[in-house]
């Protein structure tokens, strides 16, 4: 068994050695092929520019080819530099390179009108060889200047087009502040803001001169330019950046932002003046519940110190200051007050908070919370002591007036201009069995008239009363109302009141209204 294991190990080692030999031989052959290609490329004439690439990595190149690569950006690979420089002359270059694995070789001619050249591509065992043969119309056989110049001209055309369509002014100035170069937008701004002959001068006018107190280079500086005729200011954010002994300047228009800021400041001033003239105390808290705005009325109503409010107290601190000055509802303990504040705060954020505070001094405050955007809260403090006093006086007078009416024997009812009962007395409730003062619904004129006719003797006088009420005119007539199985006579008086209301009085006739025959029969019965 051991002998067999040795034989197997020896066989595996032989196979691995055989594969390694083939791999070394293949690599050695590719190295010889690459060296052969490299040697052949070095033996070419100077008018040829030859590159050797393995995938996108440059393996070797002639002197003229390396000079071509030195003229491009340092942030690109050799392959990217080559494609960027040659694409203006050979637009189909990238397509031919992608097809090289199938075609094995290609030859294309340049599309440039002035510079004529051929580009030949060959593939040898994974190595791409690119050979350029050039010839100019004037007989010069130096290819690299043609190729570089074509790339530079293409880049220059792109830069010129870019500066022409750039909407913002750009310029270059020397260390003394003289303009060395400017784009189209800069000259358009000169034409718009400077006199007509300003475009004829060189160097151009410095529209954004650097001031002595200007911040460090690279920082944006807000600058304005006024039109020389209309004196309309245009605002720009100017940035200067030094480079290679020159200063590159850029100006971004900011008219919209400046106008918006001006409108906002004007609006704030208007609000400040409005808040200052309000008799209602105003306290605005931001999303962090810090006081950010208040008006003088708040100080007048609460006697809070301006210095304390200017320190931006939190909502808790604000209510604590009110409690110390006894500008708050009475709470038994301080802990009860601290529990009341978070409830007030949360309800105010939802926009449903409104509370009336009766102070020990006799004042009455209405405290209202209104939610604002971004979690802010506006609290309004209003002294309603006079309103409460007037309301109490008014209700007291109403109660006295009602008590006086209830003492009268005459039944009285008052209808509003819309036809509903607004007032009545106890005699009216006793007469008709209905008390409008305790009724849940408002009784109307039509409902009352229907009830009166039902409980009284039919009479044409009711139509007179109804017509007089409709026309808001006085009326006086007699009716008979059923009482204790008899019809008692009442005088009905109707009269219009101030404001369109109408009053009706029911006065009982002292002498009963009976027929003469009935009275004679009654006397005879008494005599017997």
Helix (H) or strand (E) holding 230: none
Q: Are residues 150 and 171 in the same domain?
A: no
What distance in Å separates the CA atoms of residue 204 and residue 242, rounded to the nearest whole number?
19
Q: Are residues 309 and 246 in the same domain?
A: no
In a domain, 263, yes or no: no
Instruction: Say what the pLDDT of residue 526 is.
Output: 36
Among 504, 522, 459, 457, residue whose Cα is nearest residue 483: 457
CB 373 within 8 A of CB 351: no
CB 445 within 8 A of CB 459: no
Range of the domain at 108: 32-155
In a domain, 20, yes or no: no
Angle of CA points 308, 313, 317, to nearest 5°: 95
Q: Are residues 341 and 432 in the same domain?
A: no
User: Is 350 buried (19+), middle (13-18) or exposed (0-12) by CB count in 10 A?
Assistant: exposed
Q: Are residues 36 and 149 in the same domain?
A: yes
Q: Are residues 79 and 136 in the same domain?
A: yes
Instruction: Say what the pLDDT of residue 414 is.
Output: 92
Sheet holding 105-109, edge to edge: 57-61, 48-54, 127-136, 115-124, 105-109
Q: Are residues 146 and 187 in the same domain?
A: no
Other Cβ atoms closer than 10 A to 298: 23
In a domain, 522, yes or no: no
353-358 and 291-294 strand pairing: unpaired
Which value, in Å, is the radius of gyration of the alpha carbons in the chain?
53
Q: Are residues 127 and 175 in the same domain?
A: no
Among 342, 350, 391, 389, residue whose Cα is nearest residue 368: 350
Which of 128, 155, 182 represents a domain boundary (last residue)? 155
pTM score over 0.75 = no
Which of 155, 185, 215 represents a domain boundary (last residue)? 155
Q: Are residues 45 and 95 in the same domain?
A: yes
What distance in Å separates the CA atoms of residue 493 and residue 476, rounded to the nearest whole number?
5
Q: Return the residue matching tokens 């040795």.
A: 6
In a domain, 142, yes or no: yes
How many structural domains are present in the chain? 4
List 367's β-bridge partners, or say none.
355, 381
In a domain, 422, yes or no: yes
Any idea what DSSP says for residue 330?
-
In a domain, 106, yes or no: yes
Among 254, 227, 221, residue whose Cα is nearest residue 239: 221
CA 76 to chain CA mean position, Å: 43
In a domain, 267, yes or no: no
pLDDT in tens, the chain (528 residues): 444 444 444 444 444 444 444 444 444 445 445 444 443 444 444 446 788 988 888 888 887 777 777 655 556 678 877 887 777 778 888 888 888 888 888 888 876 666 677 888 898 888 889 887 765 444 454 444 555 555 556 666 777 777 777 888 888 888 777 888 888 888 888 877 777 766 667 777 777 777 766 666 667 788 878 776 666 778 888 888 888 778 888 888 888 888 888 888 888 788 777 777 778 888 888 888 888 888 888 888 888 888 888 888 888 888 888 888 887 776 666 666 667 667 666 766 666 677 887 887 778 888 888 887 777 888 888 888 888 778 888 888 888 888 888 888 889 999 998 889 888 999 888 888 888 888 777 888 888 888 888 888 877 788 888 888 888 899 898 888 877 667 788 889 999 998 889 999 999 887 554 444 454 454 434 333
In a domain, 19, yes or no: no
Q: Are residues 140 and 208 in the same domain?
A: no
Instruction: Say what the pLDDT of residue 45 is.
Output: 44
Q: Are residues 378 and 330 in the same domain?
A: yes
What distance in Å separates the CA atoms of residue 226 and residue 221, rounded to the nearest whole number?
16
What distance in Å separates the CA atoms of residue 134 and residue 51, rounded to the nearest whole number?
15
Helix ranges (H only) for 43-112 are 63-69, 78-86, 93-98, 100-103
CB 461 within 8 A of CB 452: no
Q: Are residues 299 and 335 in the same domain?
A: yes
CATH of residue 372's domain is: 3.30.450.20
Q: Are residues 323 and 379 in the same domain?
A: yes
């Amino acid at each position: 068994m051991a002998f067999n294991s040795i034989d197997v190990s020896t066989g595996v080692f032989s196979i691995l050695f055989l594969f390694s030999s083939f791999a070394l031989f293949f690599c050695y052959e590719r190295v010889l092929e690459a060296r052969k290609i490299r040697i052949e490329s070095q033996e070419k004439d100077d008018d040829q520019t030859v590159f050797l690439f393995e995938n996108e990595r440059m393996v070797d190149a002639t002197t003229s080819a390396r000079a071509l690569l030195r003229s491009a950006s340092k942030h690109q690979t050799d392959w990217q530099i080559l494609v960027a420089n040659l694409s203006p002359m050979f637009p189909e270059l990238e397509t031919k390179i992608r097809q090289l694995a199938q075609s094995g070789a290609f030859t294309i001619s340049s599309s440039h009108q002035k510079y004529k050249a051929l580009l030949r591509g060959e593939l040898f065992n994974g190595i791409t060889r690119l050979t350029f043969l050039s010839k100019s119309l004037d007989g010069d056989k130096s290819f690299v200047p043609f190729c570089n110049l074509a790339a530079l001209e293409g880049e220059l055309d792109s830069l010129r087009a870019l500066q022409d369509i750039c909407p913002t002014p750009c310029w270059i100035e020397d260390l003394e502040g003289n303009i060395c170069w400017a784009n189209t937008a800069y000259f358009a701004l000169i034409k718009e803001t400077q006199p007509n002959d300003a475009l004829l001068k060189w160097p151009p006018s410095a529209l954004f001169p650097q001031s002595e107190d200007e911040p460090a280079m690279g920082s944006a500086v807000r600058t304005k330019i006024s039109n020389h005729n209309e004196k309309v200011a245009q605002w720009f954010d100017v940035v200067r950046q030094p480079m290679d002994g020159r200063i590159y300047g850029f100006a971004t228009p900011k008219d919209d932002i400046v106008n918006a800021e001006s409108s906002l400041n004007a609006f704030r001033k208007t609000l400040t003046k409005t808040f200052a003239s309000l008799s209602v105390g105003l306290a605005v808290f931001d999303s962090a519940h810090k006081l950010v705005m208040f008006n003088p009325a708040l100080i007048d109503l609460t006697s809070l110190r301006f210095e304390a409010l200017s320190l931006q107290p939190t909502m808790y601190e604000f209510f604590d200051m009110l409690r110390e000055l006894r500008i708050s509802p009475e709470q038994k303990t301080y802990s009860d007050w601290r529990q009341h504040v978070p409830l007030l705060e949360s309800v105010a954020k939802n926009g449903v908070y409104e509370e009336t505070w009766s102070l020990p001094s006799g004042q009455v405050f209405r405290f209202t919370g209104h939610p604002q955007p971004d979690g802010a809260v506006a609290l309004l403090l209003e002294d309603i002591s006079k309103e409460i006093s007037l309301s109490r006086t008014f209700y007291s007078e109403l109660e006295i007036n009602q008590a006086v009416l209830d003492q009268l024997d005459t039944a009285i009812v008052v209808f509003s201009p819309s036809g509903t009962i607004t007032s009545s007395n106890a005699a009216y409730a006793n007469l008709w069995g209905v008390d409008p003062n305790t009724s849940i619904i408002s009784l109307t004129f039509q409902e009352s008239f229907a009830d009166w006719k039902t409980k009284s003797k039919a009479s044409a006088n009711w139509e007179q009363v109804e017509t007089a009420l409709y026309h808001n005119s006085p009326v006086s007539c007699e009716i008979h109302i059923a009482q204790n199985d008899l019809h008692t006579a009442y005088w009905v008086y109707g009269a219009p009141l101030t404001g369109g209301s109408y009053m009706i009085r029911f006065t009982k006739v002292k002498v009963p209204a009976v027929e003469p025959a009935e009275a004679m029969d009654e006397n005879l019965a008494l005599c017997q």
